Chains A and B, each alone.
Chain A
């Protein structure tokens, strides 16, 4: 069973749809026991950082996420909330990754919206995948590069396309919306 963390972020159903296409059962939940007893956890979401963090704290889901021992995958806003700090709403985040999240300077269209590649792949999430592939990104804030960066992307400036530290995995792109390549990445995560 895969637990998808339920919080005030849009379109969580698409992650569940992607998992069921892969044949995995999943549950959308904000219940600590259900999250902690799942085989894998996914922390998805698009939305705004400060209201999302506030929602998580009110339900003590911040502590739950930090205590997870099984593989957990943050997606998009999920990745950003797993970092130290976000400029969006001046938000202290979970601090799993020692990265800062900043707003793209307006040197090109923002949000960064559409298909872009990724490079310097350094995680088992990307087994069988090469860097010529494109993934779907949609975000106005980005995580800076750091020691936990396991894939990079370049839009306006280089940023973390994926982060990993121990059992904590995160992607800025949306694997659930990235056609067959994204499906392969989700499959790799589910098989960890």
Chain B
């Protein structure tokens, strides 16, 4: 039986983890490799690294970081943030990333999705969608959620699947940071509209939220950041709880 995945997300700036981290036993809280290794030990199913600055001078730092992550961890990981061209993808894959995630750049130039999928396969091609419910419609936002687009979220999800995306990372901006639970409605709408896996993101505040996500939607993974960083929800406790709730979990 295929298991539902629990995915911690690490925001990276200049090669360091941002957002505070208060894990006991990690000497250098800003070091993403230490944190990644900790998550692997705890049973994380995959990791996502998002470069939130993504400036040109930071690309080399990111590439070096990806190389070190690939040397140290033995589970799959996705790298996203600031990927605009097939060359950006080449560098990250060569450094050892298993998947890359594109967001604003794919809205700007949708062929980028096809280019990545043709070169590296659709399993390598993650499209991140930031969505917000406004005026009675779920719309796609870009540039870290700052810029609205005219795209309807479900339509865009269908389109990226056709273009070759192998997975969708769907973040509800209405829910992100609220700790009030995942956006179940749009997660299920997108999951039903496409036949590729959907990772739900935004709003996880406690272990019950993951149970609700997996019971009420067909999302194949749940992603969160701060609740794992701060150990408000520890991964082993979460996975044990979900097993008791009869969710298929590794």
Contact = CB atoms under 8 A, between A and B. Distances in A.
A172 to B, nearest CB: 13
Given A109-B196, A113-B167, A115-B45, A136 B3 contact: no
B74 A114 contact: no
Contact of B195 (A21, A47, A109, A183): A109
A23 interface: no
Contacts of B40: 179
Given A10-B93, A11-B96, A113-B220, A179 B75 contact: yes
Contacts of A144: none
A74 interface: no
DSSP majority for the A interface?
Answer: mixed
A177 B40 CA distance: 11
B54 to A, nearest CB: 22
B120 interface: yes
B36 interface: no
Contact of A134 (B3, B71, B218, B221): B3
B34 interface: no
A46 B121 contact: yes
Contacts of A140: 122-123
A178 B118 CA distance: 25
Nearest to A135: B250
Contacts, number: 95
Interface string A38-52: 000000001110000
Given A14-B70, A177-B74, A114 B45 contact: yes
Interface in A1-27: 10-11, 13-14, 17-18, 20-21
A95 interface: no
A188 to B, nearest CB: 15
A55 interface: no
A17 B121 contact: no
A115 B250 contact: yes
Interface in B73-132: 74-76, 93-98, 118-124
Interface string B162-197: 000011000000000000000000000000000111
Nearest to A183: B74
A183 B73 CA distance: 11
Nearest to A117: B1
A89 interface: no
A68 B181 CA distance: 54
A128 interface: no
A179 B47 CA distance: 12
A116 B1 contact: yes
B2 interface: yes
A21 B122 CA distance: 28
A180 B74 contact: yes
Nearest to A153: B2
Contacts of B4: 114
Given A48-B121, A114-B220, A155 B96 contact: no
B121 A47 contact: yes
A29 B160 CA distance: 35
Contacts of A109: 195-197, 218, 220
Interface string A140-154: 100000000000001
Which 4 pairs between the two chains have the least Cβ-Cβ distance? A10-B120, A134-B250, A115-B3, A138-B123
13 contacts: A46-B121, A110-B195, A110-B196, A111-B196, A112-B2, A113-B166, A114-B2, A114-B45, A116-B2, A134-B250, A136-B75, A138-B76, A155-B2
Interface of A: 10-11, 13-14, 17-18, 20-21, 46-48, 106, 109-117, 134, 136, 138-140, 154-155, 174, 176-180, 182-183
Interface of B: 1-5, 40, 45, 70-71, 74-76, 93-98, 118-124, 166-167, 195-197, 218, 220-221, 250
